[in-house]
Chains A and B, each alone.
Chain A
Amino acid sequence: MRSVSLSPGADLGGFRAALRRLIAEGVPPEDIVWGSAPALFAAAPVKSAPPIVLPRSAAELIRWDICHRQAERYALLYQLVWRLRHGEDRLLEIASDPLVHRLHRMEKSVRRDVHKMHAFVRFRRIETSEGDHFVAWFEPEHFILEMAAPFFIERFMSMRWSILSPIGALHWDRDHLILGPPARRQDAPESDAFEGGWRSYYESIFNPARLNPTVMRGHMAKRYWRNLPEAAAIADLIRSAPSRVRQMIEQEGPVARKRDPEKAVAAMAQQSPKTLTALNRLITAAPPMVKGGTRAVLGEGPLNPDIAFVGEQPGDQEDLVGKPFVGPAGRILDKAMTEAGIDRSKTYVTNAVKHFKFEQRGKKGFIPSPPPGRSSTTAGGWKRSSTWSNPRWWWRWAPRRHSPWLASRWQ
């Protein structure tokens, strides 16, 4: 009989060392007694044994199950490794095997505990000489503090926080995670300025007509309640729910006391911009949807012209100057107009899309076509601007691929 003693909690390092040695010596699972005692194993000089290669899924399973509260976890995991190395290398793919099934259920329980810790930790703010410090007291079911830590670090990286628990503590100083010794509930602050508001929110968001405490307890087990400030409201909410619903149902359809704001309702329907100037003001005020452009390039020319020219979208030159068709394409347009005897100042020139878009692809700049629908972004405005500028003829300029709305309307 071999006796192995590991540190209390999730002793992954100790288990790994023991595993290597025991497997190297070929000790079968039934000959080992696994126990836990403070730091005995770590203190003993460990003969290094060769590392064991395990399937990734097994390593992952060990990482989770090692956190389980059950003392039997080490024995079960050793059995798994033993079987994996004795002819059952695909064992983990047989989810119906009783050992695998049990280990998976343990994993699920640990994962769930981590998830619940992410959900149910409630910070309370205290002021210290270094600024705000957020402190929480939490009682996890398994040895999961380190497994749960990355989530809090990522989410609250810019805050200083501590999570205290009976099995240890996590402290984050905005740069490092420090593991602390087990703490007591009274080490955490007793209240927080926003807890009252949070509880009010919790009470108000509850719909008494859908009362279903069983489902609530399924998701939020009672053992968490004592550390959740909002849980103090639960009993009252459940008790008063039936009478609140009865009251709502028995109540006659009421007569509106004062609210029939006729004028406001009428005004609501009249919200669209009324003039081209108003529409343009809106377009100018909106920041560009995509990177590249610096400003909106608006249409130019008199209202009620004989001809209006509609391009696809402004280019870099147009973006710099803020006027449509002033780049190479504009020069071609000007030349063509001159040849045709059209005075540009008497036409309305604009683009379907108002913003320049530019993409750096490697060393080259690239002006992509507007994707489908982009031109209809301003289509609402378009239809309106067409009535304002009201030309006799429209000239559509080279949409390269999709502009279905323009194509059908202006071709």
Chain B
Amino acid sequence: MDEKLTRKLRILADAAKYDASCASSGSKGRKGGKDGLGSTTGAGICHAYTPDGRCVSLLKILLTNYCLFDCAYCINRRSSNVARARFSVEEVVTLTLEFYKRNYIEGLFLSSGIIRSSDHTMELLMRVAKSLRDQGFAGYIHLKSIPEASSWLIEQAGLYADRMSINLELPMAESLKRLAPEKNGGTIASAMGQMQERILEAREERRRFAPAGQSTQVIVGADEADDVTVLGACATLYHRYGLKRVYYSAFSPIPDASALLAAKPPPLQRENRLYQADWLLRYYGFSVGEIAAGGRDGMLELDIDPKLAWALKHRDRFPVDVNSAPRELLLRVPGLGVRAVDKIVETRRHARLRLGDVGRLSPGIKRAMPFLIAADHSPAHLTDRADLRARLTSPRQMSLFG
């Protein structure tokens, strides 16, 4: 690989790293076969991990980091002084294919700064995807759509991509106006709506159009939106546009930060709690209101997970009997995940479960104990103890249950 291309790669990977949505999941059925290259499996593979603990699954780059927009949170805004570079369509195709052949990546995640016009940019992105497919590439392609681009271009892109995404970035319209003056919440929403229509339509017609669905990213901590606002916005997105995933990205300090938005350490714990709450929304039957009830003043607790927070405030619902409680109730027990609950439900048909049994089915048994009744275990007054929260959060006290 020549030096010039490596230099561009450094700049344009660095410029892309703040986008969290790197997963390559949910697409299947594409196979390159004898003449092509690649395959997409149902669950994507993480081919490496960087020291920030994040997975490297895709070649995540920008086509260019020149940009006409001036979004305060973004390293690539036009007023920033970062080094700029631009790939040609062919260069991106070569990098993707060569990396893929060496088993470094699952595919390509391509985004871009806006150059010349939104349509021009979107057309370039689309051409990369088309060119890859024309060469028999059957790996994963995730394109970031430019919401301001014309609908026909976005639709063309969806023919070649596995996933399309449009970043919401900021959950409140006011902050969007203040921090990203060229963006428009209405445009983003209608682009998402349009994408959803196309995906449903293609499914009805049994043809391929962004088979892995659409996702979005929300930046956490760049504006004043509290957790309940963020979750409320995301619940609406899941509901209205059938999004596959919302990625929460803690606002991270960037080199050459805008004066409008001072650099500060990213709120990683907050991001983590939002992901947990998101899971509760999607898989555990919680509503935004219930999650909010576990927190305080619109924010989730940082030191305990949102499910435990909810349980501590609703102790009248506990303890539940692991041998008889319905699935929905077991799902509400802190420390029991969906898979553990399913195993419990299956196993208890054949045997009465003791605490040791539950311990073998779930790694979170210590947190679950005060909320559970098993054949040989009753938490007695533990469930109602005033210091339960402290007992469950202080690591030294954990041995009590050991």
Contact = CB atoms under 8 A, between A and B. Distances in A.
B261 to A, nearest CB: 8
Interface in A98-125: 98, 101, 115, 118-125
A98 B60 CA distance: 44
A93 interface: yes
Given A207-B17, A249-B264, A90 B117 contact: no
Given A94-B350, A134-B102, A210 B54 contact: yes
A219 interface: yes
A70 B95 CA distance: 41
A314 B102 CA distance: 47
Given A157-B34, A283-B152, A93 B51 contact: no
Chain B residues touching A, majority SS? loop
A94 B343 CA distance: 8
Contacts of B275: none
Nearest to A291: B207
A158 interface: yes
B48 to A, nearest CB: 6
A15 to B, nearest CB: 26
A125 to B, nearest CB: 7
A373 interface: yes
Contact of A261 (B32, B78, B358, B360): B78
Residue of A205, A218, A372, A380 ringed by the most chain B CB atoms within 10 A? A205
Contact of B79 (A215, A237, A256): A256
A282 interface: yes
A259 B360 contact: no
A401 to B, nearest CB: 12
Given A202-B50, A202-B56, A197 B197 contact: no
A112 to B, nearest CB: 12
A97 to B, nearest CB: 8
A211 B13 contact: no
A155 B56 contact: no
A301 interface: no
Interface residues of A, number: 95
Contacts, number: 254
B80 to A, nearest CB: 7
Contact of B50 (A90, A174, A216, A374): A216
Interface string B75-106: 00011110000000000000100110111100
Interface in A365-411: 368, 371-374, 376-378, 380
Nearest to B22: A205
B191 to A, nearest CB: 11
B143 to A, nearest CB: 16
B120 interface: yes
A198 B102 contact: yes
A370 B152 CA distance: 16
A380 B265 CA distance: 43
Contacts of B52: 206-208, 210-212, 216
Nearest to A201: B13
A373 B205 contact: no
B175 interface: no
Contacts of B36: 158
A205 B47 CA distance: 13
A371 B10 contact: no
A216 B347 contact: no
Contacts of B59: 201
Interface in B103-117: 103-104, 114, 116-117
Interface in A208-239: 208-216, 218-220, 228, 230, 234, 237-238
A353 B46 CA distance: 42
A241 interface: yes
B291 to A, nearest CB: 24
Contact of B198 (A90, A119, A214, A373): A373
Interface stretch (B235-243, B251-259, B302-310, B388-396): B251-259
Contact of A371 (B16, B17, B56, B201): B201
A220 B48 CA distance: 7
A391 B132 CA distance: 44
Interface stretch (A22-30, A40-48, A188-196, A339-347): A188-196
Interface in A241-285: 241, 245, 247-249, 251-254, 256-257, 259-261, 264-265, 267-268, 270-272, 282-283
Given A96-B347, A198-B102, A259-B79, A211 B260 contact: no
B289 interface: no
Given A95-B361, A201-B9, A205-B13, A119 B120 contact: no
Contacts of B151: 377, 380
Interface string B8-42: 01110110111000000000000111111111010
| 7 shortest interchain CB distances as A-B pairs | A253-B259, A215-B53, A96-B357, A373-B197, A271-B117, A256-B79, A212-B53
17 contacts: A95-B347, A96-B353, A118-B45, A122-B102, A158-B35, A159-B37, A195-B102, A205-B17, A210-B250, A212-B53, A220-B49, A241-B51, A248-B254, A249-B253, A254-B80, A256-B78, A286-B156
Interface of A: 90, 93-96, 98, 101, 115, 118-125, 134, 136, 151, 154-159, 174, 192-198, 200-216, 218-220, 228, 230, 234, 237-238, 241, 245, 247-249, 251-254, 256-257, 259-261, 264-265, 267-268, 270-272, 282-283, 286-287, 289-291, 368, 371-374, 376-378, 380
